[in-house]
Amino acid sequence: MADIAELTALIEPEVKALGFDLVRIKLFGSGDEHTLQIMAENPRTKQLVIEDCAAISRRISDVMDEHDPIEEAYRLEVSSPGIDRPLTRLSDFMEWAGHEAKISAAELVEGRKSFRGILNGVEGEDILFTDGKAGDVAIPFSLVSDAKLVLTDKLISASMPLSSDGADEFETEE
């Protein structure tokens, strides 16, 4: 499999050139089924529309064809991170402070590897977190192996689309 750092070095400048922020690159699969997943967002809205995904996909396809960094055949998937988004950058933990999240650590932090609770922001390179069982903890960002927001009513309200034009319109065939 290709190196994620190498893929990021190729892909991130192209995503930024289109005016978007890269959230995550993930390459997964086995045998003949591989997927290169690229999550990006508009920095103003934290969302992507289908036209944005298409533009990123076209641009990345051209770059990948030119540099050919992945030996295996793969499917390219471009998407918005969604409501219960992964938290991959230190800034994500600050931006989504006050929301519920799940965090998995690569090593024990205060005797635990799994946390679920409320994000309280960031201090230096530590994520400040109130875990439902362990209480207040500081989790070093370097130890985070996986983190994502938990779908709650508060998160849904904070993630409402900027425009819902057409959401209540229905077309009927006669």
Query: Which DSSP string do the residues of 115-172 spell out, in sequence order?
Result: EEEEEEEEETTEEEEEETTTEEEEEEGGGEEEEEE---HHHHHHT--S--TTTT----
Q: Which of 76, 69, 140, 155 is nearest to 103 (CA)?
A: 140
Q: What's the pLDDT score for residue 46? A: 87
User: Residue 124 in contact with residue 9, Cβ under 8 Å?
Assistant: no
Q: What's the pLDDT score for residue 168? A: 53
Q: What's the pLDDT score for residue 16? A: 98
List where CATH 2.30.30.180 sits in the chain.
90-158
**Strand ranges across the sheet with 33-41:** 21-30, 33-41, 75-79
CATH of domain 4-79: 3.30.300.70
Q: What's the pLDDT score for residue 96? A: 95
Rounded distance between C-alpha atoms, residue 17 and residue 31, angstroms: 33
Q: What's the maximum distance between 2 C-alpha atoms anywhere in the chain?
A: 64
Low-confidence ranges of the chain (pLDDT < 70): 1, 160-174
Please tell me the pTM assigned to this model: 0.81
Can you name the CATH fold of 90-158?
Answer: SH3 type barrels. (2.30.30)
Going by C-beta distance under 8 Å and a sequence separation of 6 or more, which residues neighbour residue 43?
A: 19, 20, 21
List where CATH 3.30.300.70 sits in the chain.
4-79
